[in-house]
Homo-oligomer: A and B are copies of this chain.
Amino acid sequence: MNNGIVLIGAGNLATNLGYAFMQNGLPLRAVYSRTKTSASLLGNRLNVPATDRLEDLPEDADLYVYAVKDDALESLATRMHAPQALHVHTAGSISLQVFGDKPRCGVLYPLQTFSRDRHVAFHNIPVFVEGNTPEVTQCLRAVAEEISTRVYEADSVQRARLHLAAVFACNFANRMYAIADDLIRGAGLPFDVLLPLIDETAAKVHELAPAEAQTGPAVRYDRKVMDRHKAMLSDEDIRFLYEMVSENIHRAAQNKQ
């Protein structure tokens, strides 16, 4: 890594990755973002040169890390040359093919949800790496091990499944919180009365498999309670969702027996 790392992107993941590189002494050389404002903002935070022009980036860095929206990845990777360097993206759902004929390419996928203004402890985050050759995989593993203690290898098929699992565990769980938020405010109570329950629900699955931790009227198939609940749901889509998820919980509980 004598010639350093170039970070392409300045969003939530790029920001957190930039901090993780810096804090672990990895030599960040430059930051790119589509807009000058966000490039400068991150460049200033990390104290490295920043640009909104791809052609201004150094061509001789060792590693180019693309932490951008899925849609933007292919065009950026095509426009960025540096054929001797290692090019890696960070997307769960995109295969190595996006790098076309670049001789050394890979993926460094951190399984976490990032917000720009929440610093996460990167060393606890599981990071999944894949290289187009065994040499690249080893090299990427070494980089990942500088920023995380939990590095795994995963090919594109496994990574796609990881991303899908993450959609359920994070995006869909969060949607359940949001529906609960609407309901509880509808009862004239603040969302934060739900926080101890949300925290305990997450804490429980550190000790019990989620299927073992399942509680509630659906797992008992308590139709009386479920019908009362459905009667309280005025939004038709949410009522249908309640029925669907309840049936799914019930079926899973029966299959377990």
Q: Which residues of A contact B (CB under 8 A)?
A: 70-71, 93, 111-113, 115, 118, 120, 124-126, 150, 152, 154, 157-158, 160-181, 183-184, 186-189, 191-202, 204-211, 213-219, 222, 224-225, 228-229, 232-233, 237-238, 240-242, 244-245, 247-249, 251-252
Contact = CB atoms under 8 A, between A and B. Distances in A.
Given A209-B191, A245-B241, A201 B180 contact: no
A36 to B, nearest CB: 24
B215 A178 contact: no
B183 A165 contact: yes
A173 B167 contact: no
Contacts of A204: 113, 115, 118, 174
Contacts of A222: 70-71
Contacts of A186: 161
Given A167-B217, A170-B201, A238-B248, 7 more contacts: A111-B196, A113-B215, A160-B228, A165-B180, A165-B183, A170-B198, A177-B213
A118 B167 contact: no
A170 B152 contact: no
A246 to B, nearest CB: 8
B210 A184 contact: no
A124 B195 CA distance: 10
A193 B150 contact: yes
Nearest to A194: B169
What 8 A-B pairs are tightest by C-beta distance, nearest first?
Answer: A171-B216, A161-B187, A178-B210, A169-B180, A177-B210, A202-B202, A165-B180, A165-B183
A212 to B, nearest CB: 9
A124 B154 CA distance: 41
A237 B241 CA distance: 12
